[in-house]
Amino acid sequence: MRQLLATAFLAASLAAAPVSAERRSDEHSYAEPDKVRIADIGLNLRIDFEQRVLRGRADLRLDWQDPKHRQLVLDTRDLNIERVLGKSGDGGWRRLDFELAEADPVFGSKLTIRMARQYELVRVRYRTSPEASGLQWLTPEMTAGKQHPFMFSQSQAIHARSWVPLQDTPSVRFTYSARISTPPQLMALMSADNDPNAARTGDYVFRMPQPIPSYLLAIAAGDLVFRPISARAGVWAEPVMVEAAADEFADTERMIQVAESLYGPYRWERYDLLILPPSFPFGGMENPRLSFITPTVIVGDRSLTGLIAHELAHSWSGNLVTNASWKDIWLNEGFTTYVENRIVEAVYGVERARMERVIRRTGLLAELQRLEPAQQLLVLAPMPGEDPDEALSSVPYAKGAWFLEFLEQRFGRELFDPFLRGWFDAHAFRSVTSDDFIAYLREHLIKKKPRAVTEAELQAWLHQPGVPESAPDTVSERFAAIDRARARWLEGRLAAREIATGDWSSLEWVHFLEGLPETLPANQLIELDEAFRFTNTANGEIAMRWYPLTVRSGYFEARPAIAAFLKKIGRRKLIMPIYEALAQSPEGLEFARQVFAEARPGYHPITTGAVEALFARAAQALSE
């Protein structure tokens, strides 16, 4: 059945390009933005750590699109709606009728608010669930400092609806303000105008004057202190890790300057980083003004700061110019990954940029072997009923960036750089579709050099699976040297300790490990481990590659370290390959379940769901 669906999706995608109205429609939201749109949200919330809930109200200022329409449809998930009121002008608040539909397991409950006339302001009093999918609550023991609790949000893709009733679609942008109450010993932050000099009072006020989509709405509270990097950039983190974070990310201001030189001014005023506990499910989240960052990239040599370049790049692609629906996610992540690599090249040099491209493309090619053809397209068909979290892969990131690198090569940077800057300027603070980009590409780039690309090449990149033959290649001299050394070691002509690894960064180690066979004999694993101390590594990029190799090879000596790593880290990218390797055998699956049972309290709901789904698939496969 799945293959039939994939074939149907592929056929639909290879047909004539859909019209913009179809691309703009968001099948992952109940909202009706063609009838009414939220223009501004005013939040007044209290963070209750004891009950693990937010409680308060959301004031929604509305922009009515249809003068005859008399209802507001909002997205919610597990919200307790207590009361809904409406107000116009200087009039008083009036109670409004509302209906909360039965919950869908993916999309939550549609909240329909009916009114006799169009109100300018609608107030929803509510509280969240302790199991809200977009919030994670940590006890003091789960934090770095072990003294105070911690809470943070993760709204992408459709988790904002679990902590705010709103139109949870990237096609709707709104400004917002908030008043947040916390225990007085904690600092609250949001994707808004955080004050680096704010005192801890337990009462915090925020304003986001630039319009953002719902998935960029963010909140956090904990034992947080600030360290400046520059006049407009700095780091928020728990006291025990703030100095290391500020040092690791000291190049942030330089990155901002490089991005501005290429793609225009930074339009969000400040750019700060919030370093979250290890349970954060992603590498980073590009919440405007305050990127959420995993501590797993703090490795001491700034070799993983491409992540910061990536989250910063979102300030242009994604935050400034947003995909109107999740089927056009490549407009967000592909552009961001391309911009990230340009920033890395300017700050750290051409060779490092090449190494990162090679690693990214290697990962893409491996993943394409497992994906259905319909999932390999940049311009995806509609995904009704699918959770956009589960549909995400490296395709929009790596293939999307590769496509832009193809265009750069064909047209030259002298044409392509101004074109991309023009795209950001022309569509600033707007939500766009693939159709919008293709039209802009034809008008503002292809017309200037009509023979640079063929129509068949464009169609292959946008609407066909796999990587087109026209894809430009990248060669890294440093990686080539590693390939030669690895081959000599595998052939027994070089001892592991004789490999010249003294100046290797995380990138070189990643490439070395990725080039090893699927399995190795015990003597070679022992030799590697004795030479390089891979087991018990503090570097997650190494761990996520070494531990699956040990599992596949039956190197049980690594099992205690695997358990410790999985209990400490909640970043999905780093732990899912290990769980996947373990789940391939009945014995490994049982071990994975035992570890997960202990690790689960420290995992984000998104991570928990991903691991549970993996176990279910693995159990079914093993029983067949």
Cβ atoms 129, 81 nearer than 8 A: no
Which amino acid belongs to residue 530? E
Distance (Å, whole) CA 467 – CA 450: 23
Bridging pattern class, strands 109-114 and 71-76: antiparallel
Q: How far apart are CA 520 and CA 112, in angstroms?
A: 59
394 is in an annotated binding site: no
148 among annotated binding-site residues: no
573 is in an annotated binding site: yes
- What's the rounded Cα separation, in Å, for the pair 423 and 434? 13
Please check if 571 is assigned to a binding site. Answer: yes
Which residues on neighbouring strands pair with residue 38, listed in sequence order?
62
Rounded Cα gap, residues 229 and 249, in angstroms: 8
Which helix (H) or strand (E) segment holds residue 82: the answer is strand 80-87
Q: Is 624 annotated as a binding residue?
A: no
Instruction: Say whether 155 counts as a known binding-site residue.
Output: yes
**Which residue of the set 126, 215, 271, 311 is catalytic?**
311
222: helix, strand or coil = strand
Phi-psi region of 78 (alpha: psi -120 to 50; beta: other; left: phi over 0): left
Indicate the Cα dihedral angle 422, 426, 431, 434, nearest 10°: -50
Backbone φ/ψ region at 111: left (φ over 0), alpha (ψ -120 to 50), beta: beta
Whether the CB-CB separation of 571 and 292 falls below 8 Å is answered with no
Catalytic residue, candidates 30, 215, 348, 397: 397
**Three-class SS state of 547:** helix
146 has binding-site annotation: no
What are φ and ψ of residue 45, in 5° steps? -130, 145
DSSP class of residue 416 equals H
**Which candidate, 154, 125, 157, places its Cα nearest to that of 137?**
154
The verdict on whether residue 399 carries a ligand-binding annotation is no
Told to judge if 311 belongs to the known catalytic residues of this protein, a careful annotator would answer yes
Residue 480 burial (CB count, 10 A): 11
- Number of H-type helices and E-type strands within the chain: 20, 21
Cβ-based neighbour number of residue 577 at 10 Å: 17
Q: How far is CA 351 from CA 179, 213, 518, in A?
A: 47, 36, 28
What's the one-letter identity of residue 203?
Answer: D
Instruction: Measure Cα distances from 577 to 257, 354, 555, 588 in Å.
Output: 36, 25, 16, 13
Beta-bridge mates of residue 57: 44, 125
Instruction: Judge whether 383 is annotated as a binding position.
Output: no
Answer whether 218's CB lies under 8 Å from 287's CB: yes
Q: Binding site annotation covers 333? A: yes
Is 314 within any annotated ligand binding site? yes
Give the up-direction half-sphere exposure of residue 521: CA atoms within 13 A in the CB hemisphere: 5
How many residues are given for the chain? 624
Residue 118 main-chain phi, psi, to 5 deg: -80, 115
Characterize 214-231 residue by residue with b for buried, 16 or more Cβ atoms within 10 angstroms of its Cβ, and e for exposed.
bbbbbbbbbbbebbebee
Residues known to be catalytic? 311, 397
The binding site for Zn(2+) comprises 310, 314, 333
The binding site for a peptide comprises 154-156, 281-286, 571-573
The binding site comprises 154-156, 281-286, 310, 314, 333, 571-573
